[in-house]
């Protein structure tokens, strides 16, 4: 028999239900989504042709410096890269690209290591378009042990290039500035100091705006990268571009919150709505270094005239990030990247197949990995290998050539393997008919463990167990997240053939 409930009890329950609904709504509103998910550090943004363009760090992945475009600041699509091939003078560490535009030319000032001595210098590339056709113009700043994090500021008709110096010296870090030549391709005169890190809290990733009678220098302090990072965004101001700059007593402006940590290194754009927005990066606190420093957005406001600014985090749309890449067209998907230091891949698509081959470098024991930036630490990746050779062909979760794990087929054997500290270990094997195509699956979990599976034809998925639970915590590198993708490890005259690649979160 149903128990009777008095009217007052119904009213109480209704109030509780309404309060719970409001609480859930407010809770949902506090979730901050990235606008460019996955590893997209040190972003720079520009508005052009009624669109927005953003470019970010690529570190040791090629192609170099991914470019995204958007019509509304919230929904972004990758359109290409600054460089398909590394400029001749560079050896790696492609960091902190920065947009500028004048004289009907787009400029990207960027950091890379110089091949001859491994010192980080600032180079510049130019194009008539914001997202393609960039041509390298070489080094513009070579300064001491390191020059990184370029930012361009136009003050009264004169352009200046600012950068971080002394980060590798036993002295306070400084933001220095040079006057730029009219063509934007060389500096003039001697550098001068804008701001010094006398407190030794960290100083980099600067961006400068002028408001009323003040120049505001926004910067990042703390440790940028990795699990122990403590990056945050701060501001200082001056009545002169050349300083001295007074730090804000209520710093930082952006810091750790419920969902994100280590916010930093951004630039501003004046949007179509007349408001200023700050594109920066941060780590998701749950997926952390496995999804990298993701592209985030904050709105800039000035609550009081003559007062200090406020940055308020904005949420991007909650999107389904699952993807399935098929190979029905000859064009290679722009999302693929590879470790250019340790491999030289050859990629062809024809007849619904992707053919991966190439040459391995530097005693690379892992192989050639063609990878995608994951947006989470937990995912399920699947592919199908369609050819049979002695080469290892399959799935790979790739940190670098010395830190990777995967499942593949070589001849008539399924192989679950890992490379840690540049040493390769076979975790388990299984014999299968070599003439039948094989599907492979890798599944990661919240505890950073991974499981791998295979099947042929209409079989059920079969697990490939290791002797102990396999963890992925050794994969992330200090400045970049690991990638998930497909692998070839064989002779130069061999290849690996795949019919699809699918990634679900």
The pairs formed by 133-141 with CB atoms below 8 angstroms and a separation of 24 or more are 134/82, 134/83, 134/106, 134/108, 136/83, 136/87, 136/88, 137/185, 138/87, 138/89, 139/89, 139/114, 140/109, 140/185, 140/186, 140/187, 141/178, 141/187
Query: Residue 438 is encoded by which pair of tokens?
Result: 């094989």
Cβ distance 124 to 109 under 8 Å? yes
So which residues are the catalytic ones?
Answer: 42, 204
- SS3 helix, strand, coil % of the chain, rounded to 5? 5, 55, 40
**Residue 317 burial by Cβ neighbours in a 10 Å radius (0-12, 13-18, 19+):** exposed
Angle at 401 between CA 399 and CA 402, to 5 degrees: 85
How far is residue 75's CA from residue 73's CA, in Å, rounded to a whole number?
6
Distance of CA 392 to the CA centre of its chain: 28
Q: Taking a C-beta distance cutoff of 8 angstroms, is the pair 485, 371 a contact?
A: yes
Question: Distance (Å, rounded) from C-alpha 288 to C-alpha 294?
Answer: 10
Alpha helices for 137-280 (secondary structure H) = none
Measured CA to CA, the distance from residue 239 to residue 243 in angstroms comes to: 7
- H or E segment at 139? strand 135-141
Burial letters 211-247, b for 16+ CB under 10 A, else e: beebbbbbbbbbebbeeebebbbbbbbbeebebebeb
What number of CA atoms fall less than 13 Å from residue 354's CA on the CB side?
Answer: 25
Contact 418, 425 (CB under 8 A): yes
Is the CB of residue 58 less than 8 Å from the CB of residue 66?
A: yes
- Residues belonging to the chain: 505
Which sign does the torsion angle of CA 431, 434, 436, 442 carry? positive
What's the count of helices (H) and strands (E) in the chain, helices before strands?
A: 1, 37
Closest CA to 65 of 117, 127, 115: 127
| ∠ CA 270-272-276, rounded to 5° | 25
Secondary structure letter of residue 73 according to DSSP:
S
C-beta separation of 461 from 385 below 8 A? no
């Amino acid at each position: 028999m149903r128990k009777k409930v008095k009217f007052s009890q119904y009213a109480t329950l209704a109030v509780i239900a309404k309060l719970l609904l409001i609480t859930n709504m407010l809770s949902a509103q506090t979730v901050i989504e990235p606008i460019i998910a996955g590893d997209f550090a040190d972003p720079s943004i520009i508005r052009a042709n009624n669109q927005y363009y953003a470019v970010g760090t690529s570190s040791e992945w090629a192609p170099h410096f991914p470019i995204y475009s958007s019509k509304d600041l919230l929904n972004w699509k990758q359109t290409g890269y600054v460089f398909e091939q590394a400029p001749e003078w560079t050896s790696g560490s492609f960091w902190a690209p920065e947009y500028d535009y004048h004289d009907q030319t787009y400029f990207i000032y960027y950091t890379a290591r110089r091949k001859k001595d491994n010192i980080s210098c600032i180079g510049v590339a130019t194009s008539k378009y914001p997202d393609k056709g960039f041509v390298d113009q070489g080094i513009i700043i070579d300064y001491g042990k390191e020059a990184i994090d370029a930012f361009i500021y136009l003050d009264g008709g004169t352009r200046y290039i600012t950068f971080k110096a002394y980060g590798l010296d036993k002295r306070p870090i400084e933001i220095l500035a040079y006057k730029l030549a009219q063509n934007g391709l060389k500096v003039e005169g001697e550098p001068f100091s804008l701001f010094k890190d006398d407190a030794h809290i960290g100083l980099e990733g600067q961006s400068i705006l002028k408001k009323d009678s003040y120049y505001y220098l926004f910067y990042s302090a703390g440790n940028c990268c990795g699990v122990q990072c403590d990056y945050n965004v701060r501001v200082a101001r001056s009545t002169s571009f050349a300083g001295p700059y007074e730090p804000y007593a209520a710093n930082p402006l952006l810091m750790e919150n419920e969902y994100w940590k280590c916010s930093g290194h951004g630039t501003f754009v004046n949007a179509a709505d007349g408001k200023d927005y700050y594109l920066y990066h941060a780590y998701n606190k749950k997926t952390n270094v496995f999804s990298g420093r993701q592209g985030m957005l904050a709105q800039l406001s000035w609550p009081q005239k003559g007062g200090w600014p406020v940055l308020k985090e904005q949420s991007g749309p909650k999107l389904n990030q699952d993807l399935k890449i098929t190979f029905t067209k000859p064009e290679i998907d722009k999302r693929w990247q590879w470790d250019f230091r340790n491999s030289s891949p050859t990629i062809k698509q024809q007849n619904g197949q992707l053919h991966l081959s190439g040459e391995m470098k530097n005693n690379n024991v892992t192989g050639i990995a063609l990878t995608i930036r994951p947006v989470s630490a937990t995912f399920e990746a699947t592919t199908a290998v369609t050819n049979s050779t002695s080469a290892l062909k399959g799935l790979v979760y790739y940190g670098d050539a010395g830190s990777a794990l995967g499942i593949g087929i070589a001849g008539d054997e399924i192989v679950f393997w890992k490379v840690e500290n540049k040493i390769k270990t076979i975790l388990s094997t299984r014999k299968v008919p070599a003439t039948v195509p094989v599907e492979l699956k890798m599944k990661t979990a919240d505890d950073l463990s991974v499981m791998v599976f295979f099947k042929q034809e209409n079989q059920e998925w079969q697990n490939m167990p290791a002797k102990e639970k396999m963890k992925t915590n050794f994969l992330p590198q200090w400045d970049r997240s690991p990638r998930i993708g497909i692998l070839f490890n064989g002779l130069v005259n061999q290849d690996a053939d795949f019919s699809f690649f699918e990634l679900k979160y």
